[in-house]
Structure 1
């Protein structure tokens, strides 16, 4: 380097000492920029069976969630479905505000509606901002109220470093989270709503005659990845929460502040490959306490901070850019120079065919949101809240009951070994219920499409001297 600089000096008016000082200054500038970018990133890997943190980097630093916000929107939607307040076929009406949200979006016109299931699928695949807002307005009456519900639920789940301002994650300087909190939410979604969790594994779905593909390129690329959510705005960088289940081990990993979709995906793949073998094959009970308390009454305890609340670490220099940045997975047409589509070119092509899901566009009168909010606020007794495994809605069979979840899980494992063919397409899970003030756990297998299929499986199990009966979920 000195020889090169000497050559430059011989042709310039600057002395060698001056050029050496300039070179050192440039080195420090580059180092400062690299340090700033590194500070913006955050990551965590959690063993989803034991709760042990296997890897952590800036996990408690404030970050903009971008569309990871929608994980909480979906959580509250699942909760309303589980309590019977809404169903998969309930119409979600799009207000003028919801329809006007920035892309990416489903594109429903004001006054139009889709089924709840369609709204969920559009969120977990396309990351539709309009669908998230419409669901928020449906469940909360308005988006501001729904944001309070989201923050209240975050506190109940132990997410103490998170504040939500909207349902979709569009830029708001008062909305922030941490990598650790997002890992908690990712674990809670699977533990608390296994009957709906399968939506996160969806890589595409049919909307009318249009096939809509998802943004999560790790689905089908990394073995065992079954969701959960991508996120991107200019202010946040590229975010990703991934859940991994190889049958024996489970992880939830979070990467935030990636510089591109491809680098973020590669970082996540590296974390999974490194830490999945280190995860435990045995685990205890639930890692995240299920928050069944009244979400509406909890609003009084959660006052959103003023709009000038402290923002995430390494706040972008141009706040105006953060405020005008378009949605997660935004397109170049909206002015972003880097978006989720970049990852598609950088990541290997998926070879697993997308699962087809038929959806129906619903035309329905406007939903009485006040009635939904009132219904949502009604105290609902805990009846069979599901706590583990991923199973679709439908019929299930129960094979045991125990005061300890570990015993119920052990019975599930034993039953699968005794009748692997009978339960080849079933998913085992435990269901908590209260009896005389004590909590018990039912051991069940779900995934049966009809009552006859469930009873047929029970008959086969009884021949192996395994008691069982069919129940509808």
Structure 2
């Protein structure tokens, strides 16, 4: 809608003030004295999307936990596959047991179900569905670990220098981080590179299998010009938000990270938009990131295939040989890559997060150590990882049981909380194994599927 000169900005100001008044009426103050912990999470940036000029910055390059803002990159990768014709809106994406076991928020699939690519997009944008994001990662990458490497590589192509991904959902992982500026770059790239899909980010709700699912982005429809993008929250990240604004040719992307509450985060974002939109440019600077869309960048030891040689998005079998700190994966041939690819990648961290000393030397395969708190478990145990949350520990156990089957699928599971320095981790273990021989057999099966493993004897 076009407004007479001056009327648009006055209406924008009135709407913003109305939103801020509503926020204040809810008992949320814009003037806060955050704790030291909260202050350490806070960062923000406002970028003119027409020129790339930074209009506001506060700790914009500091590393932060992205939480569900991670899913912006998951969607970027899916849009890229759709843009190339490898995936369509109706392509069914299978949901593995591991994806189905992800903690909320999620749709609530049963293993073996599928979701169309379009429904998966909408479930991520509105519900921030962790099961959908993980299913997309497995579908496009063959495994979530592989997909996280692809995501990190894409981040480098786009100029996101402070970003490393370890999963597709943003669930807690101490090695997964980004920055406000990097996420602003990603927000601009999503609009510039995939304008045909960008309208998905304005969805406030969607219907799936007869139920209406409402979105989390409360600024849509309340602050004029806001047309996306994504919210995010974990306990360690605080409340995060990336907003895209388009008013009368003025385009901005703003990022707020580490908010103390959803309301405070939203109010801060509304205030930033009100303050800096008047100074944004109407000049169309062209596609700021056009040259980065298909650039080739190698990240650390990750040697990813070129776009033309990339495998089709189907589940792939991998045979893995481990040598010191490097895993050489021989990926099966695919329709678009008729010969097997040899990929050199770092030791897997997405599946198994090394956190405590007994993991660091990759004990193989049996140790006579016994664990504290083992009274709640019985028999021999097998540990496959130490994770950042109990939900992550349960999810990796579910994934291992699903992928390995056989001697692992029938085992009981057990998680154990422990501290390392100031960090809290959760050991992921299978329990109730009758003998050292059975534990060794299960470890062999797990390692064949690229899960680290060691066995723990019963307490005497």
Q: TM-score range by the shorter chain?
A: 0.5 to 0.7
Which residue matches 1:46? 47
- 1:120-135 map, 5 Å: 120-135=121-136
Question: Helix, strand or coil for the counterpart of 2:212?
Answer: strand
Q: Work out which of the residue numbers 272, 294, 306 in structure 2 matches 1:292.
A: 294
Q: Is the 8 A contact 2:102 2:391 kept in 1?
A: no
Q: Is the 8 A contact 2:43 2:60 kept in 1?
A: yes
1:187 equivalent in alignment to 2:188 = yes
Which residue matches 2:263? 262
Q: Is the 8 A contact 1:192 1:290 kept in 2?
A: no
Question: Helix, strand or coil for the counterpart of 1:194?
Answer: coil
Work out the CA distance in 1 between the residues paired with 2:387 and 2:258.
Answer: 16
What is the CA-CA distance between 1:291 and the residue it aligns to?
2.5
CA 1:33–1:240: 2 relative to 1, 3 Å: closer
Work out the CA distance in 2 between the residues paired with 1:118 and 1:190.
Answer: 20
1:148 equivalent in alignment to 2:149 = yes
Q: Is the 8 A contact 2:145 2:348 kept in 1?
A: no
Work out the CA distance in 1 between the residues paired with 2:347 and 2:45.
Answer: 26
- 1:67-466 map, 5 Å: 67-288=68-289, 289-293=291-295, 296-297=304-305, 303=346, 323-324=389-390
Q: Is the 8 A contact 1:46 1:53 kept in 2?
A: yes
Using the size of structure 1 for normalisation, the TM-score is 0.57
What is the CA-CA distance between 1:33 and the residue it aligns to?
6.8
What is the CA-CA distance between 1:294 and the residue it aligns to?
7.0
Q: Is the 8 A contact 1:171 1:324 kept in 2?
A: no
Work out the CA distance in 1 between the residues paired with 2:114 and 2:132.
Answer: 10
Question: Helix, strand or coil for the counterpart of 2:111?
Answer: coil
Using the size of structure 2 for normalisation, the TM-score is 0.59
CA 1:199–1:58: 2 relative to 1, 3 Å: same
Listed one character per residue, the Cα deviations across residues 387-435 of structure 1 (whole Å, up to 9, x for unaligned) are xxxxxxxxxxxxxxxxxxxxxxxxxxxxxxxxxxxxxxxxxxxxxxxxx
**Highest RCO, 1 vs 2 (Cα 8 Å, sep ≥ 6):** 1
Q: Is the 8 A contact 2:157 2:296 kept in 1?
A: no
Question: Helix, strand or coil for the counterpart of 1:297?
Answer: coil
Q: Is the 8 A contact 1:174 1:308 kept in 2?
A: no
What is the CA-CA distance between 1:301 and the residue it aligns to?
8.6
Q: Is the 8 A contact 2:230 2:241 kept in 1?
A: yes
Listed one character per residue, the Cα deviations across residues 115-142 of structure 1 (whole Å, up to 9, x for unaligned) are 1000000000000000000011110001
Higher radius of gyration, 1 or 2: 1
Work out the CA distance in 1 between the residues paired with 2:140 and 2:35.
Answer: 43
CA-based RMSD: 2.4
Work out the CA distance in 2 between the residues paired with 1:38 and 1:272.
Answer: 21
CA 1:267–1:221: 2 relative to 1, 3 Å: same
Work out the CA distance in 2 between the residues paired with 1:184 and 1:302.
Answer: 26
CA 1:223–1:127: 2 relative to 1, 3 Å: same
Listed one character per residue, the Cα deviations across residues 17-69 of structure 1 (whole Å, up to 9, x for unaligned) are xxxxxxxxxxxxxx997344223200000000000000000001110000000
What is the CA-CA distance between 1:290 and the residue it aligns to?
3.5
Question: Helix, strand or coil for the counterpart of 2:197?
Answer: helix
Say how many residue pairs are matched: 286
Which residue matches 1:454? none
Q: Is the 8 A contact 1:144 1:166 kept in 2?
A: yes
Q: Is the 8 A contact 1:156 1:291 kept in 2?
A: yes
What is the CA-CA distance between 1:287 and the residue it aligns to?
1.5
Listed one character per residue, the Cα deviations across residues 220-243 of structure 1 (whole Å, up to 9, x for unaligned) are 110110000000000100000000
Question: Helix, strand or coil for the counterpart of 2:108?
Answer: coil
Work out the CA distance in 2 between the residues paired with 1:305 and 1:32.
Answer: 41
Work out the CA distance in 2 between the residues paired with 1:172 and 1:183.
Answer: 21
Listed one character per residue, the Cα deviations across residues 365-407 of structure 1 (whole Å, up to 9, x for unaligned) are xxxxxxxxxxxxxxxxxxxxxxxxxxxxxxxxxxxxxxxxxxx
What is the CA-CA distance between 1:283 and the residue it aligns to?
2.6
More strand by share: 2
More helix by share: 1
CA 1:294–1:276: 2 relative to 1, 3 Å: same
Work out the CA distance in 1 between the residues paired with 2:126 and 2:87.
Answer: 21
